[in-house]
A and B are shown apart, each in its own frame.
Chain A
Amino acid sequence: MNVEEKMAVLADAAKYDASCSSSGSSRKGTTGMTLPSGCCHSWTPDGRCVSLLKTLLSNVCIYDCAYCINRCGNDVKRATFTVDEVVNLTAEFYRRNYIEGLFLSSAVFVSPDHTMEQMIRVVRTLREERRFGGYIHLKAIPGAGMELIDRAGRYADRVSVNIELPSAQSLQRLAPDKKKDDIIRPMAYIGEHWKQAKTERQKNHKAPRFAPAGQSTQMIIGATPESDKHILDLSQNLYDSYSLKRVYFSAYIPVNLAESRLPVLPMPPLLREHRLYQADWLLRMYKFRAHELLNEEEPNLDPQLDPKAGWALRNFHHFPVEINTADYEWLLRVPGIGVLSAKRIIAARRSRCLDFSHLKRIGVVMKRAQFFITCSGKFSGGLRSSPESVRKALILREKPSVKAEQLQLFQ
C-alpha cells in the first residue's frame, strides 16, 4: 500500500473525532509555532473546519466496540502508517500552510501500551528531530501506562481521552473491552499534571510544559438512552473535576448497520447535538450550572428554543434586566446578549446612557433580547406579560439554523 492509499483509509477512519481546535497553546520551534487563538485552514463540504492533519496511526484494532467502524469484527481495509510517513506528511503539509499541526489517534493494535509507544515515537521525532513547533493533539489510548501518558503530555499541546459514551452501563454494553476506569484514570492524571505544570511555569518559565492546551474528551450522542440532563451533568463534572477544556459531542452516525445493540435513526441527531453544544457553551462561558438548565421534570433540551432562552422563560420573574445598571453576570444571562456584547455594554455605558438604537450597534440580538430588557426603564417592542407568549414570539422569530429532524411516518 502506498502513502496515498493509507491516507485514504486512515484519514477516513479518523473523521468521526469531532475535536479540531488548535487553540490555547503558544510555542515556537524551528519550523512552526502555535497561535493562542488557534487557526482554521479549510472547511470540508460538511462545514466542519480542518485545522489539524487528523489521522489514525493504524486502524488495525483488537477491540470490538459496537459503534466503531474499525472494530476487529468489521471487514474494512486495514492500514498502518510508519512513523516517518506521519512525520513527513505533517512537515510537508505544514510547509504549505495546509494545516496547523497534527491530531494523531489510533486504533489499538497489539496492546494499548504498544500503540501508545508508537504514537509517542511520532511526536518525539517531530519535536526533537524536526524541531517542529506546530500544534500536536495526541489521543491517549485507554489502558496505556501512566508513564506513557506522561511522555505524551511532554511533547503534545493537548492530550485527550475519549469517554465515548455517557454512562458506564452503556460503555459496558457497547464497548466491552474498554473499562470506565481505564478512561477516567488517565483523565485524572492529565488534569492534575496539567495544573501542576501550569503553576510551575508561572514561577519559572523554563519549567517543562505538560499539554499546555489542556485536555478534551468526546462522547457519542444518540446511540444510548441517556437524557440531555445526564449528559450535561456529566460534562459539568468533567469540567469541574479534571479541568477539561472542552467536551465534544458527536451525533451518532450508524456505521455498523447490522448491529443489534444500536438504535436505527433516519439521520444523525444533529439538532440535539447543536442544542447540547449551546448548553455546553453556557456552562463554559456564561457561568451557568447544569442544574439550572435541566431538571428531573424536564430532562431534555427544548429542540425549538435555545437553552438560554429556555432558562430565561423558566425564570421570567428575574426579568426585565435594566441595561444601564445591571451587573455583568446578569447581562450575560439575557438571551441575545453574548460575552462580547455584555463587555461592550459595560464599557459603553460609562460614557453615556444607552438606548435601544445603541444596543443594536453594540451587537445585541434584539429579536431575542427585546423581551427581557429595559433601557432607562423603557421597554422596546411588544411588552409581554407571560412566558408562554414570549416563547411563541421567540419561536416565530427563530430561523431554523439546523434542519429539524424528519419524523417517521410509521413507527
Chain B
Amino acid sequence: MDIEYRYDGSPDGLLCAIADAVRKKEQPSVISGPFQEGLLYADRCHTVTTDEARADEVIAYFRRKVSKEAARNLLYCLAGPFETMEAELLAYYRMGLRLGRSLDRNHADPIVHAVHQAARAVGHEIHRFKGLLRFRQLQDGLYWAPFEPDYDIISALVPHFRARLWDQRWMIHDLRRARAVVWDGRRLYAEPQPAKLLQDNPVSDEEVEVRQLWKTFFKSVTIESRTNPKLQARCMPLRYWRWLPEMEV
C-alpha cells in the first residue's frame, strides 16, 4: 500500500510527520512538503498537523532514547538540507529507537552516513561563521552582523556570541531568511522587524576608522611570494565575501 505523508515544509512539521509514522507503525512511500511532488496515485494521503511543542518532544525523546550526539545530528539536518532527505531522517529516527546509543557508530550504513554528511555540512558552516561573521557599529551603538548562510544556523550561533560579546548590544541578521536575533545586554530575543533598527542608523565614524585599520592590517599580513588565491577561495568561499570588510574592493 502506498501511503503519502504531506507536511507544511517546516522542520517542526517534519518532526511531527516522523512522530506520526513511528506511532502508527507506518512506512510512508513519500513524505512531501508543499512544493514537492507527491505520489501520482497514493492509496492514502495523511496530512500532518504541525505542532511546535510536539516537535520539541520528538527531539527530547530521541535524545533520551539514543544520545545527545544523535539528537544534535537530527537538529543540524533540520537546520540544513532536510527537504531533500525526509525519508533518510525517518529511517535514522527509527534506527535510533531500535539501536539506542550505538546508532552513530554505524559509519558504514548508508542512512547514518547520509545524516552524518548533512549534519557535518551544517556544523561546518556554523564553525565557519563563528569566524566569518562581522559586526559593524552603528550610530546608536548597536553592532549589526548581517550574513547570508546556506543553512538556518542563526540559533546555533547566538549562544557563542552571547558568551563572547555580552558587554555590547548586537543584532545577528540572517538576510536570506529575514531573521534576526538581538542581544540588548541583558536578554536575547528574536527581532521581527530588523529593518526598523537599521533605519536612519548608518555606521558610526569610529566604525569607518576601525574598518580602514583592519583592511590595512589584512593587506599587510599577506606574503606576496606565496600567493595562492585558490587556497584562499577554498577556505573562504566567494559567496561569503559580500559581508567581509577586508574583501571590499
Contact residues of A with B, CB < 8 Å?
Answer: 3-4, 7-9, 11-12, 14-16, 28, 30-33, 35, 37, 39-51, 53-55, 89, 92-93, 95-98, 100, 251, 253, 267-268, 270, 344-345, 347-348, 350-352, 354, 358-359, 361-362
Interchain pairs with CB closer than 8 A, number: 156
Shortest C-beta distance, B104 to chain A (Å), equals 8
In Å, the complex CA distance between A16 and B222 comes to 9
Is B106's CB under 8 angstroms from A47's CB?
no
Contact partner, A7, options B134, B143, B213, Cβ 8 Å: B213
Q: What is the CA–CA distance of A100 and B127 in the complex, to the nearest angstrom? A: 13
CB distance from A273 to the nearest CB of B (A): 10
B218 touches A50 (CB 8 A): yes
13 cross-chain CB contacts under 8 A: A11-B220, A31-B168, A37-B127, A39-B130, A45-B232, A46-B232, A55-B217, A96-B137, A97-B134, A100-B131, A348-B105, A348-B107, A352-B108
Q: How far does the alpha carbon of A354 sit from the alpha carbon of B217 in the complex, in Å? A: 51
Chain A proximity of B126: nearest CB distance (Å): 11
Q: Are B228 and A45 in contact (CB under 8 A)?
A: yes
In the complex, whether B212 has a CB less than 8 A from a CB of chain A is: yes
Residues of A within 8 A of B218 (CB): 42, 44, 50
> Which of chain B's residues have a CB closer than 8 A to the CB of A3?
213
B210 to chain A: which residues have CB within 8 Å? 92-93, 96
Q: Cβ of A11 and Cβ of B108 under 8 Å apart? A: no
Hey, which chain A residues are within 8 Å of B131, CB to CB? 39-42, 51, 97, 100
14 extra interchain contacts, Cβ-Cβ under 8 A, other than A7-B220, A40-B235? Answer: A4-B212, A11-B217, A15-B221, A15-B222, A47-B229, A95-B165, A96-B134, A96-B135, A96-B136, A348-B107, A350-B102, A351-B102, A351-B109, A359-B108
Q: Are A47 and B134 in contact (CB under 8 A)?
A: no
Q: In the complex, A93→B207 CA distance in Å? A: 10
B61 at the interface (CB under 8 A from A): no
A8 to B219, CA, bound (A): 8
How distant is the Cα of A16 from the Cα of B221 in the complex, in angstroms?
A: 8
A39-B131, A45-B232, A96-B134 known; A8-B167 Cβ under 8 A: no
Bound state CA distance, A33 and B163, in angstroms? 7
**Which residues of A sit under 8 angstroms from B163, Cβ to Cβ?**
28, 33
CA of A352 to CA of B109, assembled, Å: 9
- Within the complex, the shortest CB–CB distance from A13 to chain B, in Å, comes to 9
Assembly CA distance A357 to B213 (angstroms)? 52
- Chain A residue numbers with a CB within 8 Å of B236 are 42-43
Q: Which of B145, B219, B220, B222 contacts A97 (CB 8 A)?
A: B145
Q: Quick one: which of B206-249 are within 8 Å of A by CB?
A: 206, 210, 212-214, 216-232, 234-236, 244-246
CB distance from A61 to the nearest CB of B (A): 18
> Please, how many angstroms separate the alpha-carbon atoms of A98 and B247 in the complex?
12
A347–B105 CB distance below 8 A: yes
Contacts of A359 in B (CB 8 A): 108
Known A46-B227, A96-B134, A97-B145: A4·B213 in contact at CB below 8 Å: yes
Q: Do A7 and B216 have beta carbons less than 8 Å apart? A: yes
Q: What's the Cα separation between A405 and B209 when bound, in Å?
A: 42
Determine whether B113 belongs to the interface, using a CB cutoff of 8 Å to chain A: yes
B109-135: contact bitstring with A at CB < 8 Å (1 yes, 0 no)? 110010000000000000100111111
Q: A8-B216, A11-B216, A33-B163 are in contact. Are A46 and B107 (CB under 8 A)?
A: no
Across-interface contacts of A55 in B (CB, < 8 A) = 217
B133 near A42 with CB under 8 A, answer no
Report B-chain residues with C-beta under 8 Å of the C-beta of A30.
Answer: 167
Q: Which residues of B lie under 8 Å from residue A48 when comparing CB positions?
A: 223, 226
When distances are taken between beta carbons in the complex, the residues of chain B under 8 Å from A270 are: 226
Contact A39 B127 (CB under 8 A): yes
Most buried by A among B107, B134, B227: B107
What CA separation (Å) do A55 and B226 show in the bound complex? 19
Q: Does the CB pair A344–B107 fall under 8 Å? A: yes
**Contact call B226/A268, Cβ cutoff below 8 A:** yes
Q: How far is the CA of A14 from the CA of B221 in the complex (A)?
A: 7
For B134, what are the chain A residues with a Cβ–Cβ distance below 8 Å? 96-98
Identify the closest chain B residue to A31 (Cβ).
Answer: B167
Q: Are A4 and B216 in contact (CB under 8 A)?
A: yes
| B25 contacts partner chain A, Cβ-Cβ < 8 Å | no
Contact A47 B107 (CB under 8 A): no
Bitwise interface map of B from 169 to 196 toward A, beta carbon under 8 Å scored 1, else 0: 0000000000000000000000000000
Closest to A18 in B: B223
Contact (A97, B133) CB under 8 Å given A4-B213, A7-B217: yes
C-alpha gap A42/B232 in the complex (Å): 9
How many angstroms between the C-alpha atoms of A315 and B132 in the bound complex? 44
Q: Which residue from chain A places its CB closest to the CB of B236 in the assembled complex?
A: A43
Residues of A near B132 (CB, < 8 A) are 41-42
Q: How far is the CB of B185 from chain A (nearest CB, A)?
A: 12
B223 touches A46 (CB 8 A): yes
With the chains together, A362 CA to B213 CA distance in Å? Answer: 45
CB distance from A110 to the nearest CB of B (A): 25
Determine how close the nearest CB of chain B comes to the CB of A221; give it in whole angstroms.
13
Q: CA of A348 to CA of B226 in the docked complex: distance in angstroms?
A: 41
Chain B residues in 8 Å Cβ range of A358: 107-108
Q: Distance (Å) between the CB of B97 and the closest chain A CB?
A: 16
Closest Cβ–Cβ distance, residue A255 to chain B (whole Å): 9
